[in-house]
Structure 1
């Protein structure tokens, strides 16, 4: 198939330009055709030369009458043509392109696009693009809606347009149609080849719209079908665990809680329990706002597994969070007398051996841990439920590695980052989704303020007031990129300054990613026990603990973080009954302050996440590009969420059919190819 041919096989490409194209991720003819324009210019309106005005960018059709060439300064030659329109004459100017005189001798008709200025009372066009009438690639560069592409050094827009035009001609009789005719008719979609022609060289605005609609639906449908096929593969030939329908132990847990479940928690728990009772393996995402009560819901699911004689394991991304979950579950399940153990890389050898023996024999029903849970020497007698916390922080195969410790256990994935439904469907399309969109009663709203460096003393005064009242504070120096050295230095300097200059009378602690786990835990315990008044930290994960006594947070360089991250950070305060405060310190522009101001008036994590997604796009939503995040050629989220929803419904409908018919064969093949390149 020509789509799979190396791009170097196309005319005018060659090995040198193919190497340059590879910098853009273009290896094959297919890659080239799916390298879509990033913008367009409408050059269809041809102006008469006599009607152009200074400063405007125009497209004119003229005839070249004469040439002149002169040196303006060393290595800068001016090439100027006398041009004639239907009414009047003028000049066209290029620089360092003397070959144009040979390409377009006097008498040549040409279409020019460029900016106008007047010289000697006549218009002079500084040419940005041109096209000689009768040239071998007519109508590609001007006199039409003209595409503009992302480039790299050594490539030009004119050359790339020509090569893409030739590629479209080459595949005209060899381009497979992946969408079945029934779907094309249902949604009135134009054929694939026509869509590719129109996306690169649209005849008009309506044609461009048709092309974009067709190609967006195609890539979203292939993605969603790939996710559905992945789930089918996971379930194929695997009999899931049908957990006991009796919920006596779960009800005892709920009745023992010192609070009533919110309606969102009750709804999510009902969905999870129903999944667990079904014979197919559960694969569900539980997502919610900060403090929405995911741990309680997960605890109830783990209790249901234990009630039927199975074991349950919860894996967290850091030792601090694993220890936190272990303590929380231990407290929640104490009335049921169910033991909870924690296994991390820092677990002492003797204790570790006892835990391994208890898991293998089945005497220990519940374990919380880190990556230590997926080591080879960890085995379970009867693992029935796997819970993954903040799964987007794990590597490619770690989720699956824990699942293989049991005979097809149920899977519950949790995330504390409120993900807009649009993005959740794209990333977790192979999972059913439960949403906690309601906070438990009694949670204090966090008063949030955007402050500049000049206003810092005000924040320090409030922090001191809160400490005097017996409360505690966080100061966050966030990690901005993968190399956290700068952030560690900044946090260390900040902790020293706060201790020596700002709050000399109060104990200041420091926690960052370079500390050993045991050192981290020691600092966190001291803060939890109130021995540290102010904790300086580098990331949300390292302060991902429940300290109800902490009432103030100050975040340095807030403009460099996303709104969703900032919202998650401030969720670490306001967990008790006292009023809580968050200061966002910024040296950013007025636009940056206005963006941060969204947090001062909005406490809905999902609404904030939606705004964050619009402002920064899905690639940066989590702060760094995450495993499994799709990169679409054309579709954009959340803007194309309606197409994504339809594609998801169609993909599920296709998967429910008895078997792939001939009509869907090409679509299935495209989805399998997509699936082969994904990491779950």
Structure 2
């Protein structure tokens, strides 16, 4: 019997060089590969001829090359264009950075192309279609083929071959886990059934873990003596705006928690721009004014820096005698030593930072409050490791999240926390103007961006992919799109790329350049969705908007509209489907994140599982809290029934479940059992 933990190099055809590429996507063992599920599936239907009434959807179409392809060079971008004949229509095809096609696509060559047809004026066009010979296409016709997340140098075919080889081995797997139907489904119904099993298990174990963490949290007490203080009231009175009724309600709840001997574990949910940050600052200052320490943990260095600057300015304006410090991975070694001393002796009352806050070298003198910004960027384990920095008492925990999750789901998903909601946005904010357009509107959108840049403003462009990916040729990627924009805008417009594969220092440099308006157009993946504040950014153009969930699109557009000028969000819909148009129209009708999340839940059913995973929310491997809401509720109900029958999982039939929970909780946390 083959073992799960065997190294990936034990597979035929996976040598050391290929293994390094697999390692880059997080695959080290057989088990990693089994659980490396496709991000999408392509059903290759019978080829048709291209026609104007078939635009906007992915399809295979027959074509003949009419003439010798042309190559145009623009900077580092090489564009191959060819005229094709499909039925009675002519199609203009374009490929980026594939110069070899100019030689292989000879006039008269008959082939089948797979891609998306669109109209540009009266012309039929296609970008980046996949080319097949008739024989090769017949081999995959009418099958569901997996499409995996890849890295440069690793092809989709290499991953497919490795998975096929593994599935043919005698593996000791759970009979309820249908890995074959997840990777190579015989039909859509097979895939849905297999996926539901994995989703249920993931939600069940998540809910079970949270129930035990909740029990531990409910027992946590402290001896802090934190009382309401005049400093916070003076700050509220001195603000250039009045707190909303929702902010006041949540602040009262937090004040009550901080004054209690039971340690707070509270989630504050608030829509983009609802004013969560000032509430977090008030909690930090109330803690510090009472002589205790507060740690504010942000997901990125630039966001930590922005919080530090804003909080320091607030402390200075109020003339408070509270020392505040910034600690991140890029803080210089000599300065770190000095900060470590100040944190340990308690002279630094508020420390703002990233994961650097819970490194072993950081010892707190009297840590009483931990604030984590954007909950879904930090695992429960990371939050717990910071909690252990409280030497004798369990610190209070305040979690801030801009993810608009309906309350019914939030109570399950954040089962170890009390939930507060800031459901109002300050009236002074100008609402963002939104529009949904198709791919024929690119020229108009670029002209509008140029007009905004001339006025001193900046633009975001969001793409779903980092780089061109096999099996996803119809999707825009950051690398190629950056070059396309450079060819369309004058050299005076600075354009830069930002994505998760860049080194932290490089990402920080680009974001600082954009923050200072040295960069006018930032082409990025969804890494920008975490709350960085760039007031001069007034335009966001989102490519392939149909590939994102509504909640994530709302999070993304929250990066604009942060200054005094009118802001605009342009959603490019690459799909002509009526349901897709209806779904995206929700973003035009409202800027209310909670209303959007609720409508998203109604519009998307359990069968809607392709391409629109809400990647920003929590860290589920396969489950999606919106499409799988019914499974989430069922799993949570089953956990409740189980714990009513066997609270400590002590029955013999629950021994394996108990062991699995132990491994998830970790040794120190498992003492709650």
Same fold by TM (over 0.5)? yes
Deviates more, 1:534-543 or 1:354-363: 534-543
1:180-579 aligned within 5 A: 227-236=210-219, 238-336=220-318, 337=320, 338-406=322-390, 407-479=393-465, 490-541=477-528, 544-579=531-566
1:337-381 CA distances to partner (integer Å, 9 max, x unpaired)?
433222111111122111111111111111111111111101111
| CA distance 1:650–1:471, change in 2 (3 Å) | same
What's the secondary structure of 1:418's corresponding residue?
coil
What's the secondary structure of 2:452's corresponding residue?
helix
Query: Which residue is equivalent to 2:596?
Result: 608
Query: Which residue is equivalent to 1:83?
Result: none
* TM-fit CA distance, 1:628: 7.0
1:138-180 CA distances to partner (integer Å, 9 max, x unpaired)?
xxxxxxxxxxx996769xxxxxxxxxxxxxxxxxxxxxxxxxx
Mapped partners of 2:626, 2:496: distance in 1: 46
CA contact (8 A) 1:241 1:277 kept: no
| CA distance 1:225–1:521, change in 2 (3 Å) | closer
What's the secondary structure of 1:254's corresponding residue?
helix
* TM-fit CA distance, 1:233: 2.1
| CA distance 1:351–1:460, change in 2 (3 Å) | same
Structure 2: state its 5+ residue gaps. 1-30, 35-175, 182-192, 194-199
* TM-fit CA distance, 1:469: 2.0
What's the secondary structure of 2:258's corresponding residue?
helix
Mapped partners of 2:487, 2:620: distance in 1: 45
Mapped partners of 2:411, 2:621: distance in 1: 11
Name the TM-score, length of structure 1 as normaliser: 0.60
Mapped partners of 2:277, 2:388: distance in 1: 23
CA contact (8 A) 2:412 2:636 kept: no
Mapped partners of 2:365, 2:415: distance in 1: 31
* TM-fit CA distance, 1:495: 2.5
| CA distance 1:651–1:225, change in 2 (3 Å) | farther
CA contact (8 A) 1:388 1:413 kept: yes
1:84-99 aligned within 5 A: none
CA contact (8 A) 1:495 1:510 kept: yes
Mapped partners of 2:210, 2:355: distance in 1: 25
What's the secondary structure of 1:397's corresponding residue?
helix
What's the secondary structure of 2:315's corresponding residue?
helix
Mapped partners of 1:533, 1:583: distance in 2: 17
CA contact (8 A) 1:426 1:630 kept: no
Mapped partners of 1:283, 1:371: distance in 2: 19
Deviates more, 1:623-632 or 1:410-419: 623-632
* TM-fit CA distance, 1:481: 11
CA contact (8 A) 1:467 1:473 kept: yes
Query: Which residue is equivalent to 1:59?
Result: none
CA contact (8 A) 2:298 2:373 kept: yes
Mapped partners of 1:545, 1:362: distance in 2: 29
* TM-fit CA distance, 1:676: 4.0
- Asked which structure has the greater CA Rg, the reply is 1
Query: Which residue is equivalent to 2:614?
Result: 622
| CA distance 1:429–1:627, change in 2 (3 Å) | same
1:204-248 CA distances to partner (integer Å, 9 max, x unpaired)?
xxxxxxxxxxxxx9x999986764442222343x43244422221
Q: How many residues align?
A: 470
What's the secondary structure of 2:361's corresponding residue?
coil
CA contact (8 A) 2:529 2:556 kept: no
1:164-209 CA distances to partner (integer Å, 9 max, x unpaired)?
xxxxxxxxxxxxxxxxxxxxxxxxxxxxxxxxxxxx9xxxxxxxxx
Mapped partners of 2:575, 2:550: distance in 1: 14
* TM-fit CA distance, 1:401: 0.6
Mapped partners of 1:273, 1:669: distance in 2: 42
1:56-105 CA distances to partner (integer Å, 9 max, x unpaired)?
xxxxxxxxxxxxxxxxxxxxxxxxxxxxxxxxxxxxxxxxxxxxxxxxxx
| CA distance 1:599–1:250, change in 2 (3 Å) | same
1:253-299 CA distances to partner (integer Å, 9 max, x unpaired)?
21222211111111111111101111011001111111111111111
Mapped partners of 2:374, 2:661: distance in 1: 23
* TM-fit CA distance, 1:566: 0.7
Query: Which residue is equivalent to 1:596?
Result: 584
| CA distance 1:419–1:501, change in 2 (3 Å) | same
Mapped partners of 1:268, 1:650: distance in 2: 32
What's the secondary structure of 1:384's corresponding residue?
strand
Mapped partners of 2:626, 2:479: distance in 1: 43
CA contact (8 A) 2:258 2:396 kept: yes
CA contact (8 A) 1:241 1:410 kept: no
1:295-349 CA distances to partner (integer Å, 9 max, x unpaired)?
1111111111111111000112222222222223223333234332221111111
CA contact (8 A) 1:393 1:626 kept: yes
1:102-141 aligned within 5 A: none
* TM-fit CA distance, 1:552: 0.6
CA contact (8 A) 2:374 2:400 kept: yes
Structure 1: state its 5+ residue gaps. 1-21, 26-148, 155-199, 201-216
CA contact (8 A) 2:538 2:565 kept: yes
* TM-fit CA distance, 1:482: 14
CA contact (8 A) 1:223 1:671 kept: no
What's the secondary structure of 2:526's corresponding residue?
coil
Mapped partners of 2:244, 2:254: distance in 1: 15
CA contact (8 A) 1:558 1:585 kept: yes
Mapped partners of 2:626, 2:458: distance in 1: 46
Alignment RMSD: 4.4
Mapped partners of 1:483, 1:373: distance in 2: 36
